[in-house]
Amino acid sequence: MKRDRSRPARMMLALLLSGVFLTGSPALAHAFPERSIPHVGARLKVAPRLVTIWFDAGIEPVFSHLIVRSRKGRKVSIGNGFIPKGSHTILETRLHPIGPGVYFVVWSVIAFDGHHTEGRWYFRVR
């Protein structure tokens, strides 16, 4: 009687593959912006008093920053941003009164799992 030597190898492969599918793949929980006010590239008639970004994952308050600067680089936001009480996915910053011009929103966050993301965009006040 001939013995099938490949059977144990096939069984081991099947077990390994089933383990991969049953446990799933690790989640990539980078926090990326879903929306913002003002939105990217907005042209506003009235200057905002607050900039808000909603993220698709929870962010760490201590390591997350949101700063707004004028075209000349002057900081017009108050502080470095904050996460409103009761939220884990919103980052906000209040603004000093600003006039017409271009303003740059610069953000940097650490998601709950430790992944870092950052970005920047502008809005314009007429």
Asked, for residue 4, whether it belongs to a domain, the answer is no
Q: What is the pLDDT of residue 101?
A: 98
Residue 73 identity (one-letter amino acid): G
Give the pLDDT score at 41.
Answer: 98
The 10s digit of each residue's pLDDT in 47-103 is 999 999 999 999 999 999 999 999 999 999 999 999 999 999 999 999 999 999 999
User: Is residue 96 included in any domain, yes or no?
Assistant: yes
Number of domains in the chain: 1
* Alpha helices in the chain, H assignment, sequence order: 7-23
Per-residue pLDDT tens over the stretch 95-120:
999 999 999 999 999 999 999 999 99
The band of 8, judged by pLDDT with boundaries at 50, 70 and 90, is low
**Sheet bearing 90-95, strands edge to edge:** 33-37, 50-55, 90-95, 77-82
Q: Is residue 2, in this structure, part of any structural domain at all?
A: no
User: What is the CATH classification number for the domain harbouring 101?
Assistant: 2.60.40.1220
Range of the domain at 70: 33-125
pLDDT of residue 33: 98
- The answer on pLDDT for 32 being more than 90 is yes
